[in-house]
Amino acid sequence: MVSDFHPRPSRDGKVADLSTLSREELAHRWQAFYGTQPLPTLTKDLLVRGIAYEIQVRQQGGLRPSEVKALWALAQGNSAGAELKPGTRLYRTWQGTTHEVLVLESGFAWQGKGYSSLSEVARAITGTRWSGPRFFGLSR
């Protein structure tokens, strides 16, 4: 696979030089940045991306802790880290009918009725027990 990723040069040229390094040299830099050897399955392109990201984090700052928490939760198939803001509308088609759920300050609204959880809404729609976040595609 050919990558079209081209890291921007940093002020000191560190990022720009990464693509010219061998995999062995990249693995050494990975070890220096992350304190562990990269997995042998990581391609040269992924090593360049990971190291470039760490250089940029050190120069410009990284993600806020809340963003890291949300990303970890999503990566693990859990929507707990991803909060739904009031006013958000969720849509789900079930047996040919599209259902719209409105996120409220304290719960959810579906067909003019309030619910305390998405699972309650999913149960009302399907007639069976469902994980609400899973039913609405917010988790795996």
pLDDT digits (tens, 9 = 90+) for 24-37: 999 999 999 999 99
pLDDT digits (tens, 9 = 90+) for 95-109: 999 999 999 988 999
- The model carries a pTM of 0.44
Map tokens 């070890």 to a residue: 31
Range 31-38, long-range pairs (CB < 8 A, 24+ positions) = none
d(CA 52, CA 38): 14
CA 43 to the chain's CA centroid: 21
